[in-house]
Copies of this chain bind each other. A is one copy, B any other.
Amino acid sequence: MPASHTALPTKERILGAAEELFARHGFEGASLRQLTAAAGVNLAAVNYHFGSKDRLIEEVFRRRLDQLSSRRMAALQKVAGEPDTTIEEVLAAFIVPALELSHDGNGSLFMRVLARAFAEHDDTLRKFLSDNYGHVMRQFTAEFARLLPHLSKEELYWRVDLVTGALTHAMSGFGMIQRKSDVTEHVHREQTAQHLIRFAAAGLKSP
């Protein structure tokens, strides 16, 4: 049981420290000794609570992606299939939940972890992400296909891949983009979303 003087239970503290160290040093670069020291827990706690380092990595993804995916799906359902839906609305359903995550606690660190997972062409990790969250990408692609009926299947996949690459890259760097002190965080997030949506929409719609 968790000690009462600690703010968070051991499991949560490990997940938080893991997210930060995986973002900064990669999955292989961050050791369990650094990680447990940063979390203020015993070395053996990782294997006790998660079973192994690989399962801890999966839990780091699960904790954030469960929420992110369901928010994206919920936002998509509001516009999917409607007769007057715009590309920009679908992109907003994809981007805004990720931006909300980026501005919530250590969420921006998680976007860096996600960008690493993209760059690592690790088969095990890709299969885990595809099995558990692939349906989200398929739903969005299907909606883009409906709104861009003149594009061939091949052309559509190309553009969706380029959009996700650009957005993942951009959002993994959000921690560094300084918000000007004369705009509120909410306004800043709104402006960022507009940047990304305009750019991605132009790329998708290009003739």
Contacts and interface: CB of A to CB of B under 8 A. Distances in A.
Residue among A121, A196, A206 with max Cβ neighbours from chain B (10 Å): A121
A170 interface: yes
B121 A119 contact: no
Interface stretch (A2-10, A96-104, A138-146, A158-166): A158-166
Interface in A143-162: 155, 158-159, 161-162
A190 interface: no
Interface stretch (A24-32, A41-49, A55-63, A65-73): A24-32
Contact of A202 (B112, B173, B205): B205
A118 B169 contact: yes
A201 to B, nearest CB: 7
Nearest to A161: B170
A45 B206 CA distance: 51
A30 to B, nearest CB: 9
A26 B24 contact: no
A181 to B, nearest CB: 15
Contacts of A206: 198-199, 201-202
Which of A23, A118, A119, A155 is most buried by chain B, counting CB atoms within 10 A of its CB? A119
Nearest to A171: B165
A181 B161 CA distance: 23
A80 interface: no
B196 A162 contact: yes
Given A165-B165, A169-B165, A26 B120 contact: yes
B118 A162 contact: no
A28 to B, nearest CB: 4
Interface of A: 23-26, 28-29, 112, 115-116, 118-121, 155, 158-159, 161-166, 168-170, 172-173, 195-196, 198-203, 205-207
